[in-house]
Structure 1
Amino acid sequence: MGVGPFATDTYIAALPELRRTLETSATVAQLTLTAFIVGMAAGQFLIGPLSDSYGRRRLLIGCSVLFAVLSVVCGLSPTGTVLVAARLLQGFVAGGGVALGRAVVTDTYRGDRAAAAFGAISSVTFFGPVVAPAIGGVILAHGTWRTVFAALTLLGAAMAVAVTLGIAETLPPPQRHPAGLRALGVRMADLTRDWSFMRHVTLQCLAAAGFFTYIGGSAFVLRSVYDLSPTQYTIVFASNAAGMALFSLLFRALVVRAGAVRLRAVGITVSTLGAAGLPAVALAGPESVPLAVPWALLCAVVAGMGFSIPASTALAQEAGRRAAGTASALQGGLTFLTAALVTPLTGVFGHDTLTPMAIAMSGFFAAAFALMCVLTKTRRPASAIPVG
């Protein structure tokens, strides 16, 4: 489930170099990131529901092997177009692994124990953005962006071995759903019509839109506006991710007592307040506001996601437990589809100032906060809600 950060954050600081090497535009360079995210969305949409019919383990092994093969293709890509296509397929199999991972947790745990498990997994997943840029920095100091994909090839091979040796089948045949497109459509329709499930997914998508605007734009914006070197940007990005990892560890420790709903509210509020300060910083300009101010605000945005992501995941999976793979596909697929749509925003509207990224982030998180307030006023009593 933590493959995403390693497949994106290890080379995100090299996007400008990738653009120069392949003689392409900043938008195409960002599309290599967007394609991976789109692929992750599509992979979750397809492979998650398939696992409800065919089980989890074989699909996990296949996704890991194909990830390694496609990493080789990415590293050998001669043009931006080929790299975008390869990243799309690489994201597809990576997304399948993510959806399957959530389904395995849902098969194994229930209620608060499931929420705590998602918190533990999130802490490991969020640690990826801390480690991945540092690893990427070391690789880029001695190689190029192509060398990063060589390292991802090794990661894919290691995942295949780990899944083969360490994960048993968690969905026995008697508990599986009928196969076929019609049965899949029935399960999808059942969950999408269920507001007790979709309310968590919708809120998660809005928060993800704000978060991935930062992911997709920060490398260009911060390096352009504040003239950061790749190493300096890596430090900023990794420290923000460390805040998210620490918050997810705190989530695991508190969720049994406080409940996922309350902790999600805290996370969304922290992220919204952080994002709300960015337009003022953009208006003042880098000459008046030192890097420490937007850095602190972005850290608050990212740290808040350490509460809201595992909470929303646990709440959505609990609400969709009757078809865990399909529920995982919908919540993960819709979230990553949203992320794919917003990631290129700063490339389209400009990365020479902080303004486009600041406006987009503050707008998305304000919408998430507003929806959360509506849900808080209309939801059932806390005692009737699973996992908090």
Structure 2
Amino acid sequence: MTQAPPSRAKYALILGGMTAFGPLCMDMYLPAFPAIAADLQAGASEVQLSLMACTMGLALGQLVMGPMSDAVGRRRPLLIGVAIYVLASVLCALAPSAYALAGIRLVQGFGGAAGIVIARAVVRDLYSGVALAKFFSMLMLVVGVVPIMAPVVGGQLLQLTSWRGVFVVLAVVGALLLAVATFLLPETLPVQQRQPGSLGRTLRTFGGLLSDRLFTGFALSASLAFAAMFAYISGSSFVLQDVYGMSAQTFGIVFAVNAIGIVAVGQLNGRLVGKADPRKMLAIGLGCNLLGALSVIVSVLGGIGLAGLLPALFVTVASVGLVMPNATALSLSGRPETAGSASALLGVLQFLVGGLASPLVGVAGSHTAVPMALVMAALSTLAVLVYLVLARGQRTERPQAAEATVG
């Protein structure tokens, strides 16, 4: 028996909070990178290693928690994962060295991954068709608040406490989300729709998804575009503060403006869903991502300065508001019985590619913007090429009428 979900706004807030674990983990402590390097007597690459470790944890956690949620339901893995995140956040605040911080961040990312992957699976449980794409666009609004506020809050926290205090705040936020999920989020996957959990079955499911040319094309092109933004996330703190002389507070404001771009474009996408082909919207987003990244490298290599760099970064980041909702909806469309596994694989590709790109941004030290610009341009170019080779011209079913169901 099906029934309408209780409240779109309620689910948007709860699932948006869970999806926000990724940007929350990454963005709030970005203004503290120079302070962490000084306190732990570490170089830029060693500090960025903690960011890479977190993304590896986010990828690995989704690989485990996604299929698990298909087998045992959504709530249990979600609550376990968020509890792990809270504990790891406390331990991050006590880290004695850059390498210890990186190790704990791996665990923190693993726990936080449950929120990301299961939130997407819950959306797929509840919605399909145009409603699915519209809801993912709505999530962009909720998720967008986090990257807007996180670096600003992080920069202000550094006026009151050390970088360790930032992780204490992350632990408190995680605890609040754990309480909200415990009392307000119902189980959305009926027992009769659950898939038997086994390693062999999981591997076969992943193999089937990867052999699907369209799924791979949508997921991988979006992951590469996401990684270009991730290169900005990883390198912008050092580039804008050390190379261009910004304060931690000004950097937080710049970061927030770019995040507002994601929110605005995501909401525009939500209004256009159902009127425009999601694949065309994805293609436009990928094109804007490439244009912005190429403008970044021109600005850096041409010595144009912040007048050229900041608009280029804005275009690159804002384009993600078009890329991610459409790529996610297209990737998960038509897979209700393996939504957790498909969501996991999509998330793994995003954070794995982003995590691998992260250390490359700091290879030449913290006093040059060239590596960040080169990495962003390379990833954006690959994103467009992958889409053209694997997804462009392939037939897909365009989402039909909006549907919303709860099993």
Work out whether the TM-score is over 0.5: yes
Q: 2:25 — aligned with what?
A: 7
Label 1:353 to 1:24 Cα distance change in 2 as closer, same or farther (>3 A).
Answer: closer
Question: Is 1:161 paired with 2:174?
Answer: no
TM-superposed deviation, 1:322: 3.4
Please tell me the residue identity of whatever aligns with 1:174: Q
Alignment partner for residue 193 of structure 2, among 161, 175, 185? 175
CA deviation digits over 1:72-113, x for unaligned, max 9?
A: 111111111221111100000111210000000001100110
Q: 1:119 — aligned with what?
A: 137
Alignment partner for residue 323 of structure 1, among 320, 324, 338? 338
Question: Is 1:297 paired with 2:297?
Answer: no
**C-alpha separation in 2, matches of 1:185 and 1:290:** 48
Label 1:297 to 1:387 Cα distance change in 2 as closer, same or farther (>3 A).
Answer: farther
TM-score, normalising length from structure 2? Answer: 0.91
Q: 1:385 — aligned with what?
A: 398
Label 1:347 to 1:164 Cα distance change in 2 as closer, same or farther (>3 A).
Answer: same
**C-alpha separation in 1, matches of 2:42 and 2:367:** 18
Alignment partner for residue 233 of structure 1, among 226, 251, 258? 251
Question: Is 1:369 paired with 2:384?
Answer: yes
Identity percentage over the alignment?
37
**C-alpha separation in 1, matches of 2:101 and 2:210:** 34
Alignment partner for residue 275 of structure 2, among 237, 257, 266? 257
Alignment partner for residue 98 of structure 2, among 80, 102, 124? 80
Contact 2:261 2:314 in 1 (8 A): yes
**C-alpha separation in 2, matches of 1:196 and 1:269:** 18
TM-score, normalising length from structure 1? Answer: 0.95
Please tell me the residue identity of whatever aligns with 1:260: P
For the residue of structure 2 that corresponds to 1:379, the secondary structure is coil
For the residue of structure 1 that corresponds to 2:28, the secondary structure is coil
Q: 2:405 — aligned with what?
A: none
Alignment partner for residue 163 of structure 2, among 145, 149, 155? 145
**C-alpha separation in 1, matches of 2:391 and 2:24:** 35
Q: 1:359 — aligned with what?
A: 374
Q: 1:202 — aligned with what?
A: 220
TM-superposed deviation, 1:387: 6.7
Alignment partner for residue 285 of structure 2, among 267, 277, 288? 267
For the residue of structure 2 that corresponds to 1:78, the secondary structure is coil
Label 1:5 to 1:387 Cα distance change in 2 as closer, same or farther (>3 A).
Answer: farther
Contact 1:260 1:387 in 2 (8 A): no
- Comparing 319-328 with 103-112, greater Cα deviation is found at 319-328
Q: 2:3 — aligned with what?
A: none
Label 1:377 to 1:6 Cα distance change in 2 as closer, same or farther (>3 A).
Answer: closer
For the residue of structure 2 that corresponds to 1:53, the secondary structure is helix
Label 1:54 to 1:376 Cα distance change in 2 as closer, same or farther (>3 A).
Answer: closer
**C-alpha separation in 2, matches of 1:327 and 1:3:** 19
Contact 1:5 1:129 in 2 (8 A): yes
Query: Where does the alignment leave 5 or more consecutive residues of structure 1 unmatched?
Result: none
**C-alpha separation in 2, matches of 1:59 and 1:376:** 33
TM-superposed deviation, 1:271: 1.4
**Aligned pairs, number:** 383
Query: Where does the alignment leave 5 or more consecutive residues of structure 2 unmatched?
Result: 1-18, 402-407
Alignment partner for residue 134 of structure 1, among 146, 152, 157? 152
**C-alpha separation in 1, matches of 2:365 and 2:400:** 42
TM-superposed deviation, 1:320: 3.6
**C-alpha separation in 2, matches of 1:271 and 1:90:** 29
TM-superposed deviation, 1:319: 4.7
Q: 1:56 — aligned with what?
A: 74
